[in-house]
Every structure is written in structure tokens, then in C-alpha cells.
Homo-oligomer: A and B are copies of this chain.
């Protein structure tokens, strides 16, 4: 029997329900299956409202403790666009793109967002007290690293020691740990963006081969914000792919245990 903790102390009835609306499995499969990384785009533009809707769906992805540690920069000014293309080493997936979105993981917004969560939860009639404890205390101590991450080794020591005797989630340790934490949630949203673009009849390419330092400077981001992916978008051009989709045999990465 597990101890009582902030995770399992949840009432049997959370008091809120949203119906599982009927969805179309076959239509979704078409979207997931036809998403390919496109290297060369046509000149057809993506309507503004489509881009905005795709960006809205992007941020419907879940995030760690709903702290939404992401930012999406839709690069529209021709000067900035030219710079971003250059920072992507002028690869065709950037050069021929109609739109470019810089996806940024932030390690410095969790404390602001945690307070916003508390404000929002106060407006909900059924928020259990445990939710306030979670955002007001637990999240703070899980994510707070102290000045210059001075608390990171201590947190590691504490969780590792407790972990010898009982089940203990491991915290993000230090700046790198927090960065990994933010990257994880931001990537969930990135996939939403790429699928949304496909579902809207457009295509995309996720790029990691770019100069993150120069991109950070161009967007005037602090050093603890990581431009982690640039997604280009447009309509696929004939002969725009390297070849058929390659996935290794599922037996190498899907296991039933």
C-alpha cells in the first residue's frame, strides 16, 4: 500500500467531465500517415487564419503540470525570415518555406505560470485543496534551483537518499534538468503543430540543424530560453522528399513486457 501523497490523494470524483466526442479514426490515421518531412515547398501561401488555428491547436498539447513552458515565434518580417533561413544553413526546407516557426523551450516562466495556475484554479468551484498545495508548494520546491543552481546537488542527494527507501519521483536537477523538462513539453506541442498543418492540407519540416545562439540573439531571448526546433511550413512540391518513409522494424522499439 502506497503512502498518502499529493499524487494519490485525489478524490474518486473530481467533479468535472467533458464528454469524449465522437472522432474519426480513419481520418486521423490519414493525417498521421501522410505527414512527411518536406524539403521543398511550392509557392502556395498558407492563409493567415489557418496558421493561427494551427498555432492554437499547437498549444492544446498537454504540458508538465500544465505549466506550458513553451513559446512559438511565427517569423513574419522579411528581414527576420531571411536571417532565420541563413541560420538554418539555407537548407531548402527553410529557403523554400512559406512560413517558419521557431519553437522555444523556456526554463524561466514556470514560476510565473505556476502563480497563474493558482489564480485560475481559484475561479473553479471544485478545485480540491490538494491542487493548491501542488502549485503553491510542491511545484515550487521541485523546480526551484536556487541562485546559480546551488540547490541542485542537494536536491539530487535528497531524492536519491529517499529513493533508496521508498518510491520517489526525481526532480529536474539544475539548469540542464529544467531545460530537459521544458523541452519535453514543448516537443509535445511541436508535434501538434506539424499534425495540424497536415490536417489543414499543408506540410512541414522540423529542423534542428540551425545556429541556436544566433536565433536566440535575433529573437532577443534570454540565455535560459532554448530555440529547440524550427518548423517550416508550406505545400509540398513534387519530388520534395528524400525517399519513402523509413522506420526501423517495430521490434526494435516497441516492446510488450
Contacts and interface: CB of A to CB of B under 8 A. Distances in A.
A242 B59 contact: no
A167 B87 contact: yes
Contact of A31 (B23, B35, B209): B23
B27 A27 contact: yes
A199 B24 contact: yes
A92 B184 contact: no
A68 to B, nearest CB: 6
B250 A209 contact: no
A128 to B, nearest CB: 8
Contacts of A183: 180, 183-184, 187
A155 interface: no
A6 to B, nearest CB: 8
Interface residues of A, number: 127
Interface string A13-34: 1111110111111011111111
A240 B17 contact: yes
A83 to B, nearest CB: 10
Contact of A91 (B10, B194, B245, B250): B10
A137 interface: no
A240 B55 contact: no
Nearest to A208: B64
Given A27-B27, A56-B250, A208-B64, A257 B75 contact: yes
A213 B8 contact: no
Interface string A199-219: 111010010111111100001
Given A10-B92, A25-B200, 7 more contacts: A14-B242, A33-B60, A60-B247, A76-B257, A163-B213, A180-B183, A187-B188
